[in-house]
Chain A
Amino acid sequence: MPENLLTRRDFLKLGGGTAAAAAAAQFIPPRATQAARIIASRDPHGDGYVPTTCEMCVWRCGVRARVSEDRVVKLEGNPEHPHSKGRLCARGQSGLMNTYDPDRVLTPLVRVGKRGEGLFRKASWDEALDITAKNMLKIKEKYGPEAMVFSTTHCLSQTQFENLLYGFGSPNYGTQRSLCFNAMIVANSMTFGMEEPARDYSQVQYILLTGRNLMEAISTSETSDLTDAIARGVKVVYLDPRFTKTASKAAEWCAIRPGTDLAFHLALINVIISEGRYNHEFVANYTVGFESLAEAVTAYTPEWAASITGVEAEVIRRVALEFSDAGPYALAHNGWRTSNFINSFATERAIAILNTLVGNWGVTMFPAAGEEGGALGKPPQPPYPRISALRLDGVPWKFPFVPLKLGIFQQLRDGILEGQPYQARGWFIARQNPILSLPDRQRSLEAFGKMDFIAVMDIFLNDSAWFADVVLPEASYLERYDPVITVGNRIWLRQPVIEPQGDVRSALWIYKALGERLGLGDYFQYEDEEDYIRQQIAPLGISFEELKLRGYAEMPESEPEIHRWPTPSGKIEIYSSTLEAGKFDPIPKWQEPPQPKPGMFYLLTGKVGQHTQFGTQNNLLLHKYEDVPRLWMNPVAAQTLGLQDWDLVEATSEVGSVKVQLKMTEAIRPDCVYMAPGYGHLSKGLRTAYGVGASSSVLHATTVDPISGGQALTQTFVSVKKA
């Protein structure tokens, strides 16, 4: 091996040493300022506390970081933050291990071996950014700016990421959302005119959860609110083909057949309307299209739904009666990751309508609060160049109802592969791991193969970075600033609680430094991260020092108007003329999704409480307390196949096959199997996660909901045999 080549392991040995010199650059807050902040909060043991914002998932809890001699030693939930209320989940508690992970990438890397060999050499920021900019400009010159694809995950610096891609002139913007909640977001937008109404558990008396596994897919405050509600006797009915931890806490679990939640909800609507149990006044004053709905659901009786869902008709009828008895104090949760079946969009519409019928608006559901906050300022910037190229993901030219900022990520990948309407040549990926997150991993690897150039920004050598040409190491969330965020009537800050490890930089710095090299400096008019935030808070007349000290600042009070829906009619749209115009069903209608052939299983996915998507499996503290990831199967099915607990089995779908250990459990329907997502990493740079479990992305077939663009993750069927 030539001398200038470094394997990952060699590189790790070097990591720490490069820290000090380069880290002193302008973007890192002066040590003295930080020390002063910590001193101000010292406890009797001499430790300081710095308020900041968690980034172990997108819920963004408030954190108080305990700092001792330049090291963060403990993270606490900030009692003043409405998302944490003093608590953090397992992931939040483990956050400092992400920062101190021995596998952190601590200096820019440039690939020297073949893609996927994992051979990189260290590079300076200047060199890595020059290489990145040179390749991007080459692609722009030769093939047009649209040949560069940009993708990132929902995060606080997203506005600056958008400046990078739209300033560059590319329409191709990938996010993770079509793999997650497009169905829910688009359905809510069509019904309420807002992406996701807020939920309030303080007065709730009856909760219907449709696959919303809040005890494992944790949103700290909402999970706590649900536990409190159950403790005070609120009845929870939970629909899921799996007996999850949420099922174990619910008063009633319905082991519904996958893909039939829609039938269940249509039957609830049928009973509530046919027995006149809806909120007549609310429906008359605030909705459009009730008559059409009443007509459309006449056939959807509980008996009809029972034959489809596998839930007894009398149970469905009783739930309908109980739900409408609770009236405005009832809540049907819209779920979160709703990318399950091709009918998930209609399911989400039905859930929205069910809530509307009992008139819970203003009691358990409220208008959504924006994240960005209109009162905040931002640095000046020129308008984006006109972009005439079509998006590779077909939005909006094939999929008119998918919001541009959501997009269809799996379709973008397929657009790259098909080269239609043009061939993409480069991919800039920030904080994202499409190799593992997109369905059909083999196709994602092939799409990477179409690229002349790939740059990945992350704190680890994630699976996508493993195949990249340049890796730009980001500072972890405990080491950097991000733009401030609005929660309720306050703005909250993410700020560095420790000095960055090694030679890593914030996204705000990286986007600006890259933008300047691409000739886009005008889109990044801020001196440094602090200056960016100063420009954000300027209109509020608050002091940055106080914001840093408290972690938040009050915004001017605004009383949102409750009974106002930004839809075309200004009311809740039970009947959507927008959908009608697009030649889609204006009222949700039963659609039977595909079913597995005999001998095949529905492949279920769903989160575990210790991990977030594809990015936390390398965290040693979470690894310590996670369950061994196995394929769940009901003993009845296992017996038929002659399989035993802990057997190594092979699961095969139409697109791929994985080997994984079997977990025999009563906690799943006999026609389903389940795999936890996020395992089966390819990158040997993730030494804790590598070799653990198998990737469900290998098995998932790619599907696109024509309305919302959502991927249908449960519409994959597998056969299982002994490996």
Chain B
Amino acid sequence: MAHKPHYAFVIDVARCIDCRACQVACSVENQVPLEHTRIWVQDLGLLGEFPALKRSFVPYNCMHCEKPPCTEVCVAAATYKDPATGLVLVDQEACIGCGFCVDACPYNARYLDQRRGVVDKCNACQQRLERGQQPACVATCLGGSRLFGDLNDPTSAAAQALKNAKSIVRLDYEVNGHDTGPNIFYINLPEEAAQSGFLYMPTDDRQPLVSQPGELPREPQYSLAEVGWKKVLAPLLFAGIGASFFVQAVFFTKQLIEGEKEFEE
């Protein structure tokens, strides 16, 4: 059987020092507009009172979910889970910039680039992977907190780190009855981080399912019966109400693109 890679980020929370080299590197590598970012370092804030204080930092970006809610709502079939690598990608040629995926992502890991009229997010630096390089954030991480690799390759740094981790936590959101199955594995969480602030993603009230420290995260479970409003009904509704508009929009955009190509040639 051919090797099927399982790409994932493994983030050693104990090693993140919030230096933000990853964010600057990502911005440069991917030419992210100044008002946007593709990756974050979440400061969990000070826990305790002076002088008994604790503080942790949690880097995150697109979780490249096993069951990404974003792909389900994309009307232009622009955002998809790459069958070869498992990475969740945006085909910006096809994206019409409707922004539904931005709202659908429970991690707020996407943004709408108004100037280009497309949605953008972490693509694990595909252009670097093709060169045999690590994603920009991983390559420059001063604390060695960010790792990326093929978990199905037991020799990869990411697989090794996961194997030797003291604890593993995955921000397993339950969206309408099923798991997102995120592919960022947080390891070596300081106790206070695992217990409190870590559970909150910015501006979101959904509760993640957190695996117990020391336990490997369970495989995501899916069944059609578990699929709820947002996953099926919402797209259907959008499709129903705005069908003609969206179809037109898609065709119009395609025409534009193709027209331009013809014109250039």
Contacts and interface: CB of A to CB of B under 8 A. Distances in A.
Interface string A119-159: 00000000000000000000000000000000000000000
Interface string B137-155: 0011111100000000000
Contacts of A37: none
Nearest to A87: B140
For the residues of B in contact with A, the DSSP-based class is mixed
A620 B24 contact: no
Interface in A632-672: 634, 636, 665-670
B123 to A, nearest CB: 15
A392 B57 CA distance: 48
Contacts of B37: 624-625
Contacts of A90: 19-21, 23-24
A44 interface: yes
B18 interface: yes
Contacts, number: 131
B28 A93 contact: yes
Interface centre among B17, B57, B144 (most CB of A within 10 A): B17
A93 B53 contact: no
A150 to B, nearest CB: 34
Interface residues of B, number: 36
A87 B21 contact: yes
A43 B37 CA distance: 27
Contacts of A216: 17, 19
Q: Sort chain A's interface into a size bin.
A: 35 or more
Interface string B3-17: 000000000101101
Contact of B53 (A246, A610, A667): A667
Contacts of A86: 139-140
Interface string B34-72: 100100000000101111011111000000000000000
B264 interface: no
Interface stretch (A224-232, A350-358, A574-582, A694-702): A224-232
A94 interface: yes
Given A610-B20, A625-B20, A77 B140 contact: yes
Given A75-B28, A224-B142, A248-B55, A92 B50 contact: no
B218 interface: no
B25 interface: yes
A610 B24 CA distance: 10
Contacts of A45: 127, 130-131
B184 interface: no
B242 to A, nearest CB: 35
B50 A223 contact: no
Interface string B170-211: 000000000000000000000000000000000000000000
Given A43-B131, A666-B46, A76 B20 contact: no
B46 A215 contact: no
Contact of A74 (B20, B28, B130): B28
A669 B140 CA distance: 33
B96 interface: no
B167 to A, nearest CB: 14
Contacts of B55: 243, 245, 248, 667
B50 A666 contact: yes
B29 interface: yes
A224 B12 CA distance: 14
Contacts of A77: 139-140
B54 A248 contact: yes
A666 B48 contact: yes
A223 B144 contact: no
B27 interface: yes
Given A224-B144, A621-B24, A89 B19 contact: yes
Contacts of B21: 87-90, 92-93
Contact of B28 (A96, A223, A246): A96
A488 interface: no
Nearest to B133: A76
B136 interface: yes
Contacts of B51: 243, 253, 255, 669
Interface centre among A44, A88, A248 (most CB of B within 10 A): A248
Interface in A296-319: none
Nearest to A79: B139
Contact of B24 (A215, A247, A622, A668): A622
A178 B25 CA distance: 33
A609 interface: yes
B17 A249 contact: yes
B18 A609 contact: yes
B136 A74 contact: yes
A227 B28 contact: no
Nearest to A85: B142
A249 B18 CA distance: 11
A246 B19 CA distance: 11
Nearest to A218: B19
A220 interface: yes
Nearest to A311: B51
Interface in A39-83: 43-45, 73-77
Given A74-B29, A94-B28, A253-B51, A44 B130 contact: yes
Contacts of B139: 76-77, 86-87
A451 B130 CA distance: 58
Contacts of B53: 243, 247-248, 253, 666-667
A249 B49 CA distance: 17
A224 B28 contact: no
Interface string A543-575: 000000000000000000000000000000000
Interface string A221-259: 001100110110000000000010111110001010000
A623 B50 CA distance: 30
A634 B18 CA distance: 22
B17 A227 contact: yes
B256 to A, nearest CB: 27
Given A255-B51, A621-B24, A666-B48, 13 more contacts: A45-B127, A45-B131, A86-B140, A89-B142, A93-B25, A216-B19, A227-B15, A231-B15, A243-B51, A248-B56, A609-B18, A621-B28, A625-B23
13 contacts: A44-B131, A87-B142, A90-B23, A93-B21, A223-B143, A224-B144, A231-B12, A243-B46, A243-B55, A245-B55, A621-B27, A621-B34, A666-B53
Interface of A: 43-45, 73-77, 86-90, 92-94, 96-97, 215-216, 218, 220, 223-224, 227-228, 230-231, 243, 245-249, 253, 255, 609-610, 620-622, 624-625, 634, 636, 665-670
For the complex of A and B, the 4 pairs showing the least CB-CB separation, nearest first, are A248-B55, A93-B24, A215-B17, A227-B143
Interface of B: 12, 14-15, 17-21, 23-25, 27-29, 34, 37, 46, 48-51, 53-57, 127, 130-131, 136, 139-144
